[in-house]
Amino acid sequence: MIISLFAASVVLSLLAGTLSIMLRARDAVAKGVGCWMGAAAAALSLVAGFAAMVGEGARASMPFLFPFAAFTVQLNPLEGVLVCVISVLALVAFVYGLSYFDEYPGKVGRACMFMNYFVASMLLVITADNAFWFLVFFELMSLTSYFLVTLEENPSSIKGGLTYLVMAHIGFVMIMMSFLVMSVKAGSFEFSAFRTLDLSPALASVCFVLAFFGFGAKAGIIPLHSWLPQAHPEAPSNVSALMSGGMIKIGVFGIVKVGVDLLGASGAQLWWGLLVLVVGAVSSVLGVVFALAEHDVKRLLAYHSVENIGIILLGVGVCLIGSAMGNLVLAGLGLVAALYHTVNHAMFKGELFLGAGALLYSVKTRNMELMGGLVRRMPWTAGCFLIGALAISAIPPLNGFASEWLTYQSLFEAAFLGGRVPMVFAVLAAVALAITGSLAVTCFVKAYGVSFSGAPRSQAAAEAREVPLPMVVSQVLLAAICVALGLGAPLFVPVMAHVASFTMGAPAIVAADGAAIQNAISGTAVSTPLIAVLLAVGALVAVVAVRCFAKGLAPKTEDPWACGYGSETSMEPVATSFASDVSMFLSPLYRLREVCTAACWGVAHFFQKATGLARWMEPQLDRYLVDDVAHGVDVLGGLAQRIMSGRMGAYVAYIVVAFVVFLVLAVIL
């Protein structure tokens, strides 16, 4: 039943994409077919993914033309989590596109086609249980997302798309090398054969490192992140939500799948977890640092994706440390934290990208300096964006707080139980997470305050209006999910625990006790949603009381203080001034970013030049190889035509001559 639903959703997505491009001459029809059918397909895959996540999953296989490439699909709890995440994002993205795709006249059919194919390829990557098909669908995912990034076909989108494509293929090659090593040892491309391998520590480490950096390039870890702030802002905003909320999570999924699942029989090494902790800590801190300096709202959100991938990797690192120590409860707690933050980040980052798309739709710019005063003109977008900003800043009672608190708890337990070396790394990672949280609050105070509060700083902002209903509905849905995942932590965390237990083959990892989820090791509260609810209710009561009290007061009529200038002068902080102190303090890190970005673009530029050389070489090869050979064949053909005179006597003479020649050769030899 699960596999049938999943197969129906994939087929429907492919059909929707095909019909969209066939109807591309009529934008409205192509948009309706592509978006509504895509949303229906996402709903089907959501049901299948949820059933797999809370149950035991299912597996199916069918033979293919080649014995090594049997088409095997597995939809177990771990795969179910990612399928649910991508399905929810795809559903709201297609609904959002019913209005947002109007911004791309003449390209709607192409956008709907590639978006449907992109969603289908992501789902197939997650569920493929054969290395051959995994790599095929991984490549399809990269290509379809590349065409979405370059949809506008302007210089910045082409540059961002090229950088993304090159980095994606570098990661692809490393993943392929890891899988090839395992397939040679297993004698099969089936992941089920990989799971039984007992590799030597050295060979297992080679496979893990290749997979970690290969999937890390797709996830956007530092220093392989430079494509992300270049590509994500150039894609349509609902595609950016899919890429940031869904696609980069496949990188995390790949790291967990290789390190915990496929290499489980070989055993994790302690230094794997320490490596992941270091990369996660660096990515989380530098991601938010780089975001602070951005005034482009979509680039800012892209850098925050780097930050949150780092936070997720902290949980993955604890999981690998626990596995290496044989402490499955610690490993499970780390994996629960990573999975829960994976889900939460997808929801609030998807909402924030849809909010950024709404700003772009109404104000026609991504520059926060040209916004302002939008809370009155776009109240629904402002409210939803505020929820997303609070969630990504880990403010209770929203979902970002719940999963980051789990991450803190996993790091504390690793410090207490992991020995001296893991303790040092875990403590430093916890400090990095604390720094990340404080800088994230600062960044989103800037982003929300500059974009929505104060007076309009451009004519476009003064004339902005709320976006159409489909775009509002999509934002409200994701904002509501952020609230539900935060308040409902006692319900959702046990589900993540079930997924972690199934993935590692471990016993129950956490136990529910009333309104608090208790850590099975120390009994420490992993989440305290009841306290968070009371705090939220108290804050709401305070706001209502202040507003009611303010109604009875006479409105102020004094002009605002403007440092001696006229009252028409705006003294509100802008994005540049808000982050100036932090930017000055962290200027060495920004220079490091410029170096990394230049290096990544240099690699992409090298490939661009290489393809240019290939384009020049192709006609030369045609000229000296193909054309000359073709000319020689043509000459021989002309001679043959002269010989074929059509006269019977000539043919008899040819036969006699040939007979004499062969007779002489026979006598000589």
pLDDT tens per residue across span 120-130: 999 999 999 88
**pLDDT tens digits along 332-386:** 888 999 999 999 999 999 999 999 999 999 988 888 888 888 888 888 999 999 9
Distances (CA, A) of 499 to 1, 81, 266, 583: 20, 8, 21, 41
pLDDT value at residue 210: 93
- Contacts of residue 205, defined as CB under 8 A and 6 or more positions apart, other chains included, come to 269, 272
Q: Is the pLDDT of residue 515 over 50?
A: no
- Round to whole Å and give the CA distance between 628 and 580: 66
pLDDT value at residue 505: 73
Sign of the four-CA dihedral 103, 108, 110, 111: positive
**How far apart, in Å, do the first and last CA atoms of the chain sit?**
76
Q: Is the pLDDT of residue 257 over 60?
A: yes
Q: φ and ψ at 514, to 5 degrees? A: 65, -130
Helical pair 108-127 and 77-100, crossing angle rounded to 10 deg: 170
pLDDT value at residue 584: 58
618 occurs within a structural domain: yes
Mean pLDDT of the chain: 81
14-18, 458-462, 592-596: segment of lowest average pLDDT: 592-596
User: Helices (DSSP H) in 398-464: which residue ranges?
Assistant: 399-417, 420-452, 459-462
Same domain, 113 and 218: yes
178-187, 312-321, 525-534: segment of lowest average pLDDT: 525-534
pLDDT value at residue 520: 47
119-133, 257-271, 632-646: segment of lowest average pLDDT: 632-646
pLDDT value at residue 513: 39
Averaged pLDDT, 289-297: 83
Same domain, 447 and 485: yes
- Round to whole Å and give the CA distance between 639 and 634: 9
202 occurs within a structural domain: no
From 239, 267, 295, the end of a domain falls on 267
**pLDDT tens digits along 543-592:** 677 666 656 555 555 555 555 555 554 555 655 555 555 655 556 655 66
pLDDT-derived band at 14 (thresholds 50, 70, 90) equals very high
The answer to whether 58 and 127 are in contact (CB under 8 A) is no
pLDDT-derived band at 637 (thresholds 50, 70, 90) equals confident
For residues 242-261, b (16+ Cβ closer than 10 Å) or e, as one string? bbbbbbbbbbbbbbbbbbbb
Same domain, 7 and 31: yes
- Round to whole Å and give the CA distance between 646 and 414: 93
Structure tokens at 543: 């706001």
**pLDDT tens digits along 74-123:** 888 999 999 999 999 999 999 999 999 888 888 888 889 999 999 999 99
Q: Is the pLDDT of residue 204 over 50?
A: yes
- Round to whole Å and give the CA distance between 501 and 504: 5
The answer to whether 451 and 365 are in contact (CB under 8 A) is no
- Round to whole Å and give the CA distance between 12 and 4: 12
The answer to whether 304 and 245 are in contact (CB under 8 A) is no
Collapsing DSSP to helix, strand or coil, 568 comes out as: coil
196 occurs within a structural domain: no
Same domain, 545 and 613: no
Helical pair 77-100 and 489-504, crossing angle rounded to 10 deg: 130
The 10 Å Cβ neighbour count of residue 361 is: 22
Same domain, 233 and 308: no
pLDDT-derived band at 297 (thresholds 50, 70, 90) equals confident
pLDDT value at residue 508: 46
45-49, 120-124, 436-440: segment of lowest average pLDDT: 436-440
184 occurs within a structural domain: no
pLDDT value at residue 579: 58
Q: φ and ψ at 467, to 5 degrees? A: -75, 165
pLDDT-derived band at 290 (thresholds 50, 70, 90) equals confident
Same domain, 136 and 219: yes
Structure tokens at 397: 């009672």
pLDDT value at residue 126: 92
- Round to whole Å and give the CA distance between 534 and 516: 14
Query: What pTM was computed for the model?
Result: 0.81
The answer to whether 275 and 398 are in contact (CB under 8 A) is no
The answer to whether 80 and 3 are in contact (CB under 8 A) is no
Q: Is the pLDDT of residue 431 over 70?
A: yes
From 267, 284, 308, the end of a domain falls on 267
Same domain, 240 and 285: no
Same domain, 242 and 282: no
Helical pair 270-292 and 420-452, crossing angle rounded to 10 deg: 20
Domain count within the chain: 3
Averaged pLDDT, 480-500: 88
Structure tokens at 334: 């780390």
**pLDDT tens digits along 144-183:** 998 999 888 888 888 888 888 888 888 899 999 999 999 9
Distances (CA, A) of 534 to 178, 467, 472, 528, 547: 50, 33, 29, 10, 20
What percent of the chain is predicted at pLDDT more than 70? 80
493 occurs within a structural domain: yes
185 occurs within a structural domain: no
- Round to whole Å and give the CA distance between 592 and 583: 13
Give the distance from CA 181 to its chain's centroid: 26
The answer to whether 356 and 371 are in contact (CB under 8 A) is no
Q: What is the DSSP letter of 453?
A: S
Same domain, 291 and 233: no
CA 316-412-521 angle, to 5 degrees, is: 90
Domain span at residue 93 reads 1-178+210-267
pLDDT value at residue 521: 42
- Round to whole Å and give the CA distance between 363 and 464: 6
Collapsing DSSP to helix, strand or coil, 81 comes out as: helix
Same domain, 351 and 315: yes
Residue closest to 24 by CA, chosen among 102, 90, 112: 112
HEC assignment per residue over 3-45: HHHHHHHHHHHHHHHHHHHHCCCCHHHHHHHHHHHHHHHHHHH
319 occurs within a structural domain: yes
Residue closest to 84 by CA, chosen among 316, 315, 343: 343
Same domain, 273 and 249: no
What percent of the chain is predicted at pLDDT more than 90? 27
Amino acid at 44: L
> What would you report as the CA-atom Rg of the chain, rounded to the nearest whole angstrom?
30
H/E element holding 60? strand 58-62
72 occurs within a structural domain: yes
Sign of the four-CA dihedral 430, 435, 436, 438: positive
Collapsing DSSP to helix, strand or coil, 477 comes out as: helix
pLDDT value at residue 599: 59
Structure tokens at 353: 């990208």
497-506, 624-633, 657-666: segment of lowest average pLDDT: 624-633
Same domain, 18 and 41: yes
